[in-house]
């Protein structure tokens, strides 16, 4: 199918219901990318201030791990309804509503003055984040249909650049001695502006007809759950990088204060780079082979940083992890959105929810393992997830 010309109104199939898109494909792609960017910088802003909040609340590794469980709990509570809402009302409407709510929840995190406050606010952050995550990935899947080539990894590349930008902004805020609350609201203001100027350019239309009542966990031959398990392993590794990389470089690598951010930054740069070239690699190697190689690279990087916990090898290891995780989840979402048997909203809800649980449960798992042994050992455990990814993808027929 040829790309649709910029000045044409186009008709597309969104969850089996034709709608009209008023914006050019490239403008729609930019709008969707900016929503990915907004969601990424919001989460990165939280992640960049975890060491500060941990210190302010005087939390141990184990206590922080317990509190971080509030995020996946919010995810689990919302999982049964997120896909239905996106399918019934359309990803554009749900994303336009939940994107501002997501940054409001981010602002609340800066108000925490006690561990239970932080847990409660993280729960709300997880609830809204789940709906926002499913809506934006459904948008990505629908926007990809406007083009004759894969573009999903580039959307996640925008999310990765946002993560790197959020880390740099976080470092700046720390050096300027700006407390997390004000930091979070500065980011929230920027995202409100983004929503205001770009929501009208999202892929419009509803999902499934109101007469059809799809089952949330319908799985064509179990393929969606299998995709979700692979995504879980990849995103658990990604979550380990987001929430614990700063602590790892500080406590294990013994990096000076000025270089603590190096591990996180190197991971984010390489993940973003991998996502912007990932579509070309997928076109050349195929989805299955790309994911298998990615899993091996991911594990290699984790083990390098574990066995050689020094600044240079650990930084190289984190860079390899970034390359490894870069294309896995975007590819899984693309496959899910085109499964043909379940509406994209429902399919992505299943795969995204299971995958995102890894992103949210990986950090608490690291905290518990660290409390029992050491943070270095916990990173070694996470390193096996890449090997599991390479093994599992070879068993799945849904990935070509």
Q: Could you report the average pLDDT of every consecutive run of 10 residues in the chain (400 residues)?
A: 36 39 82 94 88 86 83 80 86 93 91 91 92 90 84 87 85 88 92 93 66 45 82 90 85 85 85 88 88 95 94 94 92 80 76 79 82 87 93 78
Q: What pLDDT score does 398 carry?
A: 64
Q: What pLDDT score does 19 carry?
A: 43
DSSP H or E run through 169: helix 152-175
Q: What pLDDT score does 219 carry?
A: 44
Q: What pLDDT score does 250 carry?
A: 86
Q: Quick one: angle between helices 115-144 and 61-68, nearest 10?
A: 50
pTM across the whole model: 0.75
Contact 94, 135 (CB under 8 A): yes
Q: What pLDDT score does 400 carry?
A: 65
Q: What pLDDT score does 206 carry?
A: 58
Per the DSSP assignment, residues forming a β-bridge with 19 are 12
Separation CA 302–CA 236 (nearest Å): 12
Q: What pLDDT score does 261 carry?
A: 79
Q: What pLDDT score does 32 carry?
A: 94
Contact 67, 74 (CB under 8 A): no
Calculate the alpha carbon distances from 313 to 134, 238, 317 in Å.
Answer: 36, 19, 6
Q: What pLDDT score does 10 carry?
A: 33
Q: What pLDDT score does 84 carry?
A: 84
């Amino acid at each position: 199918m040829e790309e649709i010309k910029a000045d044409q109104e186009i008709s597309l199939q969104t969850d089996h219901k034709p709608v009209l898109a008023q914006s050019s494909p490239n403008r729609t792609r930019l709008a969707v990318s900016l929503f990915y960017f907004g969601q990424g910088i919001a989460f990165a802003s939280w992640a960049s201030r975890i060491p500060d909040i941990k210190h302010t609340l005087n939390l141990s590794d184990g206590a922080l791990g317990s509190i971080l469980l509030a995020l996946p709990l919010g995810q689990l509570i919302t999982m049964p309804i997120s896909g239905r809402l996106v399918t019934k009302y359309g990803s554009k409407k749900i994303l336009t509503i939940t994107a501002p709510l997501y940054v409001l929840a981010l602002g609340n995190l800066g108000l925490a003055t006690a561990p239970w406050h932080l847990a409660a606010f993280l729960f709300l952050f997880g609830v809204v984040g789940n709906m926002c995550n499913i809506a934006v990935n459904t948008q990505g899947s629908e926007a990809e249909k406007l083009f004759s080539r894969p573009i999903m990894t580039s959307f996640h590349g925008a999310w990765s650049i946002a993560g790197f930008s959020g880390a740099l902004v976080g470092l700046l805020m720390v050096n300027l001695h700006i407390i997390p609350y004000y930091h979070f609201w500065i980011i929230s203001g920027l995202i409100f502006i983004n929503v205001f100027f770009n929501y009208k350019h999202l892929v419009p239309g509803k999902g499934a007809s109101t007469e059809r009542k799809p089952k949330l966990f319908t799985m064509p031959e179990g393929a969606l759950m299998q995709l979700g398990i692979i995504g879980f392993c990849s995103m658990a590794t990604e979550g380990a990088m987001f929430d614990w990389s700063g602590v790892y470089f500080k406590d294990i690598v013994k990096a000076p204060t000025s270089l603590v951010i190096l591990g996180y930054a190197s991971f984010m740069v390489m993940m973003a780079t991998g996502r912007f070239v990932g579509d070309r690699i997928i076109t050349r190697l195929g989805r299955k082979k790309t994911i298998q190689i990615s899993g091996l690279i991911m594990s290699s990087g984790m083990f390098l940083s574990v066995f050689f916990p020094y600044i240079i090898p650990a930084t190289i290891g984190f860079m390899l992890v970034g390359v490894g995780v870069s294309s896995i989840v975007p590819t899984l979402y693309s496959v899910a959105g085109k499964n043909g048997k379940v509406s994209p909203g429902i399919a992505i809800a299943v795969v995204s929810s299971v995958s995102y649980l890894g992103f949210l449960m990986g950090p608490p798992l690291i905290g518990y393992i660290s409390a029992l042994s050491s943070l270095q050992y916990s990173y070694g455990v996470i390193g096996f997830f890449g090997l599991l990814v390479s093994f599992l993808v070879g068993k799945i027929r849904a990935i070509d």
